[in-house]
Structure 1
């Protein structure tokens, strides 16, 4: 049967093992990592989720249990620590035998320009947003290489950037370290993709726009000392050409597509998920 006449299920991840970083959520509701983990499980993948917060992982585990996903395992892990990342990768292989999908989803922003931002804050942003993607790839790529050598199947890696690397400011604030680190993720993705293109490994990057996830209520509103949260959120919705902020499911759907066999000819590519925001600017 040719690919033009496939009768199997689209975006089917059955038999694949996904290693997802930042698989918890910053509060009640659906964060990107939590949605990605659950959606991949729904599509048939075995999912190994890591997060710095055990409590955040427990929230994702509760959803997995409620939906009956038994092929789900977790580990608390600091993705900036090479030893911890290697241990988590080893645990995933021991549990599920392989890794077919890596989603590097750890990150966070801190505002500031080169003068106002401390050197410590700059270094922390580079570690949180860029080093974590490096560490995930460093320890998972050899696994995928071995699988390609043995079976002819490599894997798919999806990194997470931000429209902050495409625009001068986000929400009227300057984030020089966040923008620089996420631009680094894009460059890192493209370079890694070409380095491993002959080894059956695809590497792509998702670039989210203005999103409405638990981070808005749990971090951003407090960080900005917002007095009227409802008006603040309504303004954010209105600023997007499509008429609303994105949510975690918009990101999860993009990630699952790039991880699937349907995206088998796509590598070194940026998928912008922003409701037209950057184009309108």
Structure 2
């Protein structure tokens, strides 16, 4: 089976002249080697960094925002090294004044904000009994309150412009049980509801709001979550590949290309939707292809 690589730039500049503000553009967990399309690779990016690069490759100027300025700067420099236009800002997206200041600075760079992309997210393990109140509050603040705040300070700008697109990163954990991480699942379910609410309220004002729900992805964060278990990279990632009906995990590029489409005029009639990008995982139980003989492989 041949899987097309999305590592190299693609043709098309449907976002030429647009300005994207991307929260969560850095990579919190850098790794020396990763897993890409069934093999070990030294070029594996997190979802935020890959998405920022995709936006830039489609012609957009990107303001890369992260709580870690160095991480945001690294992404911006990578974009500029490929001939794109990018800026870097630090922001604690759980604090209203920090978000307000970041949006104002972003606006000063380009005079408008065409796309708001919310990629920030953390996960804490545990069901309702095991998850501490502190962890629950932190996950809700980072995953949900941050999106409320970025929308709060960006929507008036888009309303004045008469146009804008908002992309929120949800998860297939919002609609399917995966593992016991009640705070994460609850926050992502709320992200879907927030997306629908914004879309409905602002549809007549030329502003669209959609969400993307990724499934199993091969990212540095996945590896870092298992680093203390002394895992074998190939064994662990092959196992994850086999858990997906398409037999391979998605990458940040897949999320980025979906986001670029939803941000473009080609998606002009799409709003309030949750686009699942998961290789078929949420349509099959268990997540393995049907073999035609009444059982799954």
Same fold per TM (> 0.5)?
yes
- The question of whether the paired residues in 1 share the 8 Å contact of 2:216 and 2:249 is answered with yes
Runs of 4+ in 1 over 4 A off after TM superposition: none
SS of aligned partner of 1:80: coil
Give the corresponding residue for 1:65: 80
Q: Distance in 2 between matches of 1:228 and 1:48?
A: 36
Instruction: Indicate whether 1:217 and 2:223 are aligned.
Output: yes
Query: Aligned residues, how many?
Result: 262
Q: Deviations 1:259-280 (Å, cap 9, x if unpaired)?
A: 0000000000110000000101
Is residue 200 of structure 1 aligned with residue 202 of structure 2?
Answer: no
Aligned 1:1-281 pairs, distance under 5 A: 12-26=14-28, 27-28=30-31, 29-69=44-84, 71-148=85-162, 154-169=163-178, 173-218=179-224, 220-222=225-227, 225-281=229-285
After superposition, give the CA deviation of every residue in 1:180-221 in whole Å (9 maximum; x if it has no partner).
000000011001100101110000000000110111122x21
The RMSD of aligned alpha carbons is 1.4
TM-score (normalised: structure 2)? 0.85
SS in 2 for 1:95: helix
Return the structure number with greater helix share: 1
Q: Secondary structure at the match of 2:15?
A: coil
Question: Matches of 2:199 and 2:282 in 1, distance apart?
Answer: 24
TM-score, with length taken from structure 1: 0.90
Asked if the contact 1:163/1:209 (under 8 Å) is kept, the reply is: yes
**How far apart, in 2, do the equivalents of 1:122 and 1:16 lie?**
36
The structural deviation recorded for 1:10 is 5.3
